[in-house]
């Protein structure tokens, strides 16, 4: 879920939990967008860390594009009726010189059944991990429009389990098989462990395990949603988003939604801790929804998505030092920028955005040269 979860639009009308929803692409506007991606037209003058930018998709709901270890491919989830994909499935986009997308259509590598989310390459780039609901039901699961009291919510599907597959789409290993939600897996740059979110304790907590699903270690234990975690470049730290209901009313509200398989993502902050679960501390205290964090290649800063500056829309990318100082706004779109990830070689940043979408609700993938 990144939501992942299916996220994108929640706030824009798309359901992305760090993973997406169904939006019919406007073919006319899609064609206009494809011809508009030239020069510096995709960047705003304030985006001083951005060099050459490319738009990689045109239409639908595309999110969570994560780099291969070799920095030559992106794996992502997409909902796109034009591709006959009614809810999120996993695709791989091969990249050529200077991170240019190769001319072939992205390759589907999930089963095409159920809903999928949170894909991530494993060392060697020949296999990847992702979550899918297909064992519970081959159909797309329903997306709740709102919570019991009108809240914007993310669904926590109990049918999500974590799988490893090869680039031909063959599932080679089922990593989790316990009842409840298991998803949001990402892999350490060291190539030895993965981190994921699970409801196996009765709450949404972080766990790590080896790449075969063994040696499971619970990382978090405080009440609230812990998810969307990523390792630091040296594999020693984790960064993630979390909610922390404090009053009895807030706790009852959180648990009531969780019992219905829902999470309200409007109040989240970033937390950081060692990968063994020690030295956990809150990194941000900004208010609003702060999520989709990822470490800068130097390990000294974190880039993330937030609406703390608006309280609603837009969502932009920000950067902050790991000691909680030096907050800096990175993007300046007037709608939605999220799911940032630096390439392992540190040259590029991938992210999802509503920019240049012809005033549709389409969320597309972009890759940009990073400038310090």
Tokens of 364: 């597309």
Taking CA atoms, 266 is separated from 7, 163, 206, in Å, by 12, 29, 20
Q: How far is residue 3's CA from residue 157's CA, in Å, rounded to a whole number?
A: 10
Q: What is the mean pLDDT of residues 88-109?
A: 91
Tokens of 256: 């009531």
Q: Is 34 helix (H, G, I), strand (E, B) or coil?
A: helix
pLDDT at 39 exceeding the cut of 70: no
Among 196-205, 258-267, 357-366, which range has the highest average pLDDT?
196-205
User: What is the maximal distance between C-alpha atoms in the chain?
Assistant: 55
pLDDT at 12 exceeding the cut of 90: no
Q: What is the DSSP letter of 310?
A: T
pLDDT band, residue 8 (cuts 50/70/90):
very low
pLDDT at 33 exceeding the cut of 50: no
pLDDT at 40 exceeding the cut of 50: yes
Please answer whether residues 56 and 66 qualify as being in contact, where contact means their C-beta atoms are separated by less than 8 angstroms: no
pLDDT score at 144:
87
For 305-335, the pLDDT digits (tens) are 999 998 788 999 999 999 999 999 999 999 9
Q: What is the mean pLDDT of residues 206-223?
A: 98
Query: Which residues, 6+ apart, have CB-to-CB distance to 184 below 8 Å?
Result: 1, 2, 3, 4, 5, 18, 117, 118, 131, 196, 197, 227, 228, 229
Q: How far is residue 151's CA from residue 249's CA, in Å, rounded to a whole number?
A: 15
pLDDT band, residue 150 (cuts 50/70/90):
confident
pLDDT at 245 exceeding the cut of 80: yes
CA Rg, the chain, in Å? 18
pLDDT band, residue 49 (cuts 50/70/90):
very high
pLDDT at 264 exceeding the cut of 50: yes
Q: What is the DSSP string of 247-279?
A: SHHHHHHHHHHHHTTEE--SSBEEEEEETTS-S
Q: What is the DSSP letter of 30?
A: H
pLDDT at 218 exceeding the cut of 80: yes
pLDDT at 230 exceeding the cut of 50: yes
Tokens of 189: 């740059």
Percentage of the residues of the chain whose pLDDT score is greater than 90: 81
DSSP H/E element including 237:
strand 237-242
pLDDT score at 2:
41
Q: What is the mean pLDDT of residues 2-17?
A: 40
Q: How far is residue 45's CA from residue 196's CA, in Å, rounded to a whole number?
A: 37
| Model confidence, pTM | 0.91
Q: Per residue in 203-230, is it b (16+ CB within 10 Å) or e — as a string?
A: bbbbbbbebebeeeeebbeebbbbbbbb
Q: How many residues does the chain have?
A: 372
Q: What is the DSSP letter of 191?
A: S
pLDDT averaged over every residue in the chain: 90
Q: How far is residue 330's CA from residue 347's CA, in Å, rounded to a whole number?
A: 16
Query: Which residues, 6+ apart, have CB-to-CB distance to 71 below 8 Å?
Result: 99, 343, 344, 345, 347, 348
Query: Which residues, 6+ apart, have CB-to-CB distance to 110 below 8 Å?
Result: 89, 90, 116, 119, 130, 132, 165, 169
In angstroms, the first-to-last Cα distance of the chain is 30
Q: What domain count does the chain have?
A: 1
pLDDT band, residue 23 (cuts 50/70/90):
very low
Q: How far is residue 109's CA from residue 169's CA, in Å, rounded to a whole number?
A: 4
Bigger pLDDT: 38 vs 42: 42
Query: Which residues, 6+ apart, have CB-to-CB distance to 354 below 8 Å?
Result: 12, 333, 335, 336, 337, 361, 362, 363, 364
CATH number, domain containing residue 262 = 2.120.10.30
pLDDT at 27 exceeding the cut of 60: no
For 336-348, the pLDDT digits (tens) are 999 999 999 999 9
**Cis peptide upstream of residue 131 (ω within 30 degrees of 0):** no
Q: What is the DSSP letter of 56?
A: -
Give the domain range for residue 46: 4-370
């Amino acid at each position: 879920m990144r939501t992942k979860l299916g996220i994108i639009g929640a706030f824009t009308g798309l359901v992305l939990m760090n993973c997406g929803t169904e939006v019919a692409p406007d073919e006319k506007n899609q064609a206009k967008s494809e011809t508009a991606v030239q020069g510096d037209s995709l960047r705003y003058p304030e985006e001083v860390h951005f060099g050459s930018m490319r738009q990689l998709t045109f239409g639908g709901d595309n999110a969570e594009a994560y780099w291969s270890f070799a920095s030559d491919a992106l794996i992502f989830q997409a909902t796109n009726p034009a591709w006959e994909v009614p809810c999120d499935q996993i695709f791989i986009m091969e990249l050529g010189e200077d991170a240019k997308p190769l001319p072939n259509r992205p390759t589907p590598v999930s089963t095409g059944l159920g809903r999928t989310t949170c894909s991530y390459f494993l060392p060697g780039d020949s296999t990847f991990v992702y979550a899918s609901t297909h064992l519970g039901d081959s159909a797309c699961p329903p997306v709740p429009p709102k919570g019991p009291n009108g809240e914007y919510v993310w669904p926590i599907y109990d049918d999500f389990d974590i799988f490893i597959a090869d680039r031909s789409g063959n599932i080679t290993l089922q990593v989790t098989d316990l009842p409840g939600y298991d998803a949001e897996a990402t892999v350490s740059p060291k190539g030895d462990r993965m981190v994921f979110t699970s409801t196996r304790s009765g709450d949404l907590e972080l766990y790590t395990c080896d790449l075969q699903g063994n040696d499971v270690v619970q990382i978090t234990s405080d009440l609230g949603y812990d998810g969307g975690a990523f390792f630091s470049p040296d594999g020693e730290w984790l960064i993630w988003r979390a909610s922390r209901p404090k009053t009895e009313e807030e706790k009852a509200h959180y648990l009531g939604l969780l019992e219905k398989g829902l999470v309200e993502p409007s109040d989240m902050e970033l937390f950081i801790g060692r990968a063994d679960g020690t030295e956990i501390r809150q990194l941000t205290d900004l208010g609003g929804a702060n999520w989709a964090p990822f470490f800068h290649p130097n390990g000294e800063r974190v880039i993330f998505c937030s609406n703390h500056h608006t309280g609603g829309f837009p969502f932009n990318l920000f950067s902050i030092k790991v000691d909680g100082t030096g907050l800096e706004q990175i993007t300046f779109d007037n709608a939605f920028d999220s799911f940032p990830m630096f390439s392992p070689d540190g040259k590029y940043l991938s992210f999802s955005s509503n920019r240049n979408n012809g005033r549709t609700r389409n969320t597309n993938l972009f890759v940009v040269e990073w400038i310090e």
